[in-house]
Amino acid sequence: MTPEILFVLVVTGLAGALFISGRVRLDVVAILVVLALVLGGILSPAEALAGFGNPVVIMVAGLLVISDMLARTGVAQLLGQWLGRHGRGSEVRLIVLISLVVGVLGCFMTNAAVVAIFLPVVLSLGNTTRLNASRLLLPLAYAGLVSGMLTLIATAPNLVVASELERAGFEPFGFFSFTPIGGAVLLVFVLYMILVGRHLLPGAPVSAPTTPARNFDELLSEFDLLGTANRLHVPAGSPLVGRTLAASEIGSRYETRVILLERVGRLGREVLTTPAAETELRGGDVLVVGGPGEGREKMVHELGLRLLPTTAGDRERWIREAGIAKVLVHPESSLIGRTLRGIALRSTYGVQVLAVRRAGGALDGFLDEELASGDALLVIGPWKRIRQLQSSLRDFVVLALPTEIEHVVPAWRRAPIAVTILAVMVTLSAFEIVPVVVAVLIAVLLAVGSRCLTMEQSYGAIQWSTIVLIAGMMSITRAMISTGAVDLVVDQLVAGIGGYGPHVMMTALFALTAASSAVLSNTATAVLLAPIAIRAASSFEIDPHAFAMTVAIAASAGFVVPMSSPAMMLVVGPGKYRLTDFVVVGIPMLVLTWIVTMLLVPILFPLV
């Protein structure tokens, strides 16, 4: 073993340890890997950073934009509504429909985005049908994972493995190369859930509604906020007149939040929802505030305000202008570890937080609490902004919307355009009219050109942490190949189990990939193991596609632990799952996926 190989293996091991610890962001680990390989003299800066120009990275970024387009134009929500109409009343029927719909949509969207879109749909079905939503959310997450096995663009590991094949001089996988295996796994998954899996799911099949909040008042009651808002009149002589909300010190001095601002306009009394910090107060304004009673009383006394009664008419006027939503902090949210006071939610999303619940309990002083994955937030904002939260899949997952939103007309007008763009992208890719990366870029430009989303929204849809992770970890692949570390690992594998034949090697690669994906990112696992699989095939003097496909399928088979994928982590809180729930239901599904892989891959990609 040369010093260079030892150095690369140590860097790889330390990166894995940091991944497992969870103390360092995955993208930061990837940057550290790049720096280590450059400073260690293993790679030049150009070689270490070459991953950022790799077509796989461009494709992943583009597909995230297409995923956001489908969410913003309501295509995914329309499928969710169809699911609700045809699946209510039967747990078996719902599991089948969820699996099929999520599987199809997941061919073109990231599995985390698909699960985030259908999460509130499933919770709502639990309310209206009295079916236990906890028994539906785990199949939803599993269906999201299986959807990654259906097409080339369904998940990043597929793209990584196909790119590595091409880099090694072999024909890359086509758009539908994964479909026969993924389709078989999906069919086996549905049968498993119907015959066995649903009997292993936690909870009784029928239960009381799991998310009792339905209308505006019920959502407020869930967060203990019903009846806590007060109306404060600002007289002409108040010290507040002429000052902005930011300069008024209402929040910092009185621990009171201005939720709404009523003001007489040209068309009568109007309501400003989540008024901006630079809003200048006028005499005659009415502030709708929330916060501790002591702060309000002090504010009324010192600022010469007058407490007004709140009538039913006032509340109706508020509801016409302002909406609320219960949202969950996404496991990959950029807001995790930051305080609400330090986050510009009002400027970014046009909403403000009214309350926060963590582990079933309300957080006092939540403005200064660091947000954590799974926190439930009650937010308020204009109805348009509340509706847009359903498309903000990077930071939040909308768990519940009040029934009043049904009276707000959604903008579905561009959904046919979005479907057409998707069809164009699939056609160009599937029939190899242009390379897949070119087809994705064409679709992105069409999406922006047709105003399905703006260029700013396109950039916002890209999960840059994912991009940095993939591009940065590609430097390890280059380093392992250039130093001979891949050959060393393959030699050890072949020496240990090579005598038992290629089928045993396939099993070993499947097990190694599945185990690594349980503690590392599945994308990072694919980056590390794809070159090893290809070199291992060369040692047997067989075509490498079978081994490469085995790695790709196993990378999406993270059924056993929720940490394997953001799609799995999304359902942990709402479903009240424990690790044992995933282990009990997931291990048989992992074994079934291995069996399907071992049966079909050698047929589709002969070991010759």
The predicted-structure confidence for 379-405, as pLDDT tens digits, reads as follows 998 877 887 777 666 788 888 878 766
pLDDT at 369: 87
Q: Please say if the pLDDT value at position 589 is more than 90.
A: yes
Residue 359: alpha-carbon gap to chain centroid: 20
Structural contact between residues 600 and 181, judged by C-beta atoms closer than 8 angstroms: yes
φ and ψ at residue 233, rounded to 5 degrees: -85, 135
Supply the pLDDT for residue 89: 65
Q: Residue 553's pLDDT band (boundaries 50, 70, 90)?
A: very high
- Using the predicted structure, report yes or no on whether residue 207 has a pLDDT greater than 60: no
Closest listed residue to residue 126, CA positions, set 440, 443, 575: 575
Which domains does the chain show, CATH number per domain? Answer: 3-25+32-47+472-580+590-604 (no CATH), 60-207+417-461 (no CATH), 228-309 (3.30.70.1450), 320-401 (3.30.70.1450)
pLDDT surpassing 60 at residue 267: no
**Does pLDDT of 19 surpass 50?**
yes
Query: pLDDT of 319-365, one tens digit each?
Result: 777 888 888 888 878 888 888 878 878 877 888 888 899 877 888 87
- Count other C-beta atoms under 10 Å from residue 84's C-beta: 17
pLDDT tens digits along 84-130:
677 666 788 888 988 888 888 888 777 777 787 777 777 777 666 66
pLDDT of residue 31: 93
3-state secondary structure of 207: coil
- Model's pTM, two decimal places? 0.66
Q: What is the CA radius of gyration of the chain?
A: 27
pLDDT tens-digit series, residues 410-466: 445 678 898 899 889 888 887 878 888 899 899 999 999 998 888 888 888 787 887
Angle (nearest 5°) at CA 92 between 88 and 96: 90
CA pair distance 164, 175, nearest whole angstrom: 15
